[in-house]
Amino acid sequence: MKFEKYAISEAIKKNLAQLGFKRPTDIQFKSIPPIIKGEDVLAIAQTGTGKTAAFAIPMIDRIHRKKGRQRVFGITCIVLVPTRELALQIGGVFAALSKHTRVKSYPVIGGVEQDAQIARLQDGIDVLIATPGRMFDLIHQGFIRLDSLETLILDEADHMLDLGFIKDIQAVKRMLHRKHQTLFFSATINPEIKKLAFSQVKSTAIRISISPDDPVAANVSHAVLFVEMDDKRFFLERFIKEHWDSKILVFVRTRVRAERVAKAMERVGIEALTIHGEKDQEERSLVLSRFKEGTVNLLIATDVSARGIDIPDVNYVINYDLPDKAENYVHRVGRTGRGSHKGVALSFCSTEEKERLEEIRQFLNREIEVVKIGKNDYDFTLTLSSRKTGAEALIEEHEAWIRSRRRKKS
């Protein structure tokens, strides 16, 4: 079924066509009708499958139609998200899909001055996209009122609940009308968080699960390299220099590590950007903009960038450090292979990280293939092999390369 066949406003159909959206994805197909009807929804779908549009399209349509019938005052819908980058990204999706409609949306985040945000709120908006901290600051100051709120949406719901925002969510819900709609969207959810989520929706909530047995999109190929911690920077250098034209997103464990890896790359002539929690919001936005535009093709990040961010055409995600939690692997590698594009997730696994690798394998319910590298056969997208002998070949060749690299440095 094409979007043009949906019973949504012509302005939204025109916006979808201009954005190149012809047919709904599975999550959009299953979510849009019940959301338009006002039902509660708890939806789990792989990263890169169009979850934002799955709730943005029906919400914009409902508000647009309502404003065509009657005067509407105040914020009708709030989208709560765990990170500033995700709030800005979702704000962009709402802005693009609501062109030529009566719907006004705006993202409110911390880390920037309040004045411009307050002015925009005072002008009047229908959809607020926000991180909890700044939203509650503005509620307490009297600049955000929830009298008219009808729908609460949690994107990356598992992370929101895992971070302990449940009290904030409950506080918002206490401010809502007795009859309201709650939507939960996420790529992963564990049993404990699922129970918590179910406690916040109606017993009649629609439960949608797309490919629950495989949380990562089929467009992503997975590979692991067994490489010791002290040698990772040498192998990253080698990989980047053999993939100059590729857009590469590298995930590390800490902020300090991000800066150290970036400096190690710069010492060998590789320009790198970094993004982490110690950078202010202006810096983080500039870094993401440069990476998206391709000004610099290497971004080194902590998990602040793993959640829901849509960065076009990322060819490789490299787990320089394996994540502490297996589900974070899903969110990291979901930055590649989005939509119809293919991507590769490559993990550097040291001896001390093998236990984490096993946890990731169990979470994915699949093997992560070991890359087999021969001297005349070096292409991560083509030479994936599950044979254990691949690891031995890799280690032998890699150790020889490391020795030669160190001799050159000395």
The domain that contains 307 carries what CATH number?
A: 3.40.50.300
Q: Can you give the three-state secondary structure of the chain, one letter per residue? A: CCHHHCCCCHHHHHHHHHCCCCCCCHHHHHHHHHHHCCCCEEEECCCCCCHHHHHHHHHHHHHHHHHHHCCCCCCCEEEECCCHHHHHHHHHHHHHHCCCCCCCEEEECCCCCCHHHHHHHHHCCCEEEECHHHHHHHHHCCCCCCCCCCEEEEECHHHHHHCCCHHHHHHHHHHCCCCCEEEEEECCCCHHHHHHHHCCCCCCCEEEECCCCCCCCCCEEEEEEECCHHHHHHHHHHHHHCCCCCCEEEECCCHHHHHHHHHHHHHCCCCCEEECCCCCHHHHHHHHHHHHHCCCCEEEECHHHCCCCCCCCCCEEEECCCCCCHHHHHHHHCCCCCCCCCEEEEEEECHHHHHHHHHHHHHHCCCCEEECCECCECCCCCCEECCCHHHHHHHHHHHHHHHHHHHHHC
Exposure letters 376-397 (e unless 16+ CB within 10 A, then b): eeeebeeebbeeeebbebbeee
Q: Is residue 334 part of a domain?
A: yes
- pLDDT (0 to 100) of residue 212: 56
- Tell me, yes or no, whether 214 lies in a domain: no
Is the same domain home to 306 and 343? yes
pLDDT of residue 202: 83
**Cα(302)–Cα(11) distance, rounded to whole angstroms?**
39
Indicate whether 263 and 169 sit together in one domain.
Answer: no
Position 124 scores a pLDDT of: 93
The reply to whether 189 and 224 lie within a common domain is no
Q: For the segment 320-336, what is each residue's pLDDT rounded down to a tens digit? A: 999 988 888 888 888 88
Provide the residue count of the chain. Answer: 410
pLDDT at 402: 56
Question: Range of 362's domain?
Answer: 220-409
144 in the same domain as 258 = no
Q: How many domains does the chain contain in total?
A: 2
Neighbouring CB atoms inside 10 A of 61's CB total 24
Same domain, 299 and 324: yes
Distance CA 134, CA 140 (A): 10
Which one, of 211, 269, 209, 215, lies nearest residue 237 by Cα? Answer: 269
Let me know whether 94 and 224 are in one domain: no
Q: Do both 28 and 102 map to the same domain?
A: yes
Domain stop point among 181, 209, 237: 209
In a shared domain, residues 323 and 239: yes
Residues 235, 186 share a domain? no
Structure tokens at 201: 């929706």
Whether residue 181 lies inside any domain: the answer is: yes
Q: Same domain for 126 and 262?
A: no
Identify the pLDDT of residue 308: 62
Segments of the chain with pLDDT less than 50: 373-395
Tell me what pLDDT residue 399 has: 54
End residue of a domain, out of 154, 189, 209: 209
Are 313 and 374 in a shared domain? yes
- The answer to whether position 215 is within a domain reads no
Q: Is residue 370 part of a domain?
A: yes
- The token duo for 181 is 């709609």
Is 224 in the same domain as 174? no
**Predicted confidence (pLDDT) per residue in 340-360, tens digit:** 778 889 999 999 999 999 999
CA distance to 83, 157, 256, 311, 355, per residue, from 277 (Å) = 10, 20, 11, 18, 27
Burial status of residue 42 (CB atoms within 10 A of its CB: 0-12, 13-18, 19 or more): buried
Q: What pLDDT is attached to residue 169?
A: 81
Domain closes at, from 177, 209, 241 = 209
pLDDT of amino acid 377: 36
The whole model's pTM is what?
Answer: 0.71
pLDDT for 398 equals 53
Residue 67 lies in a domain: yes
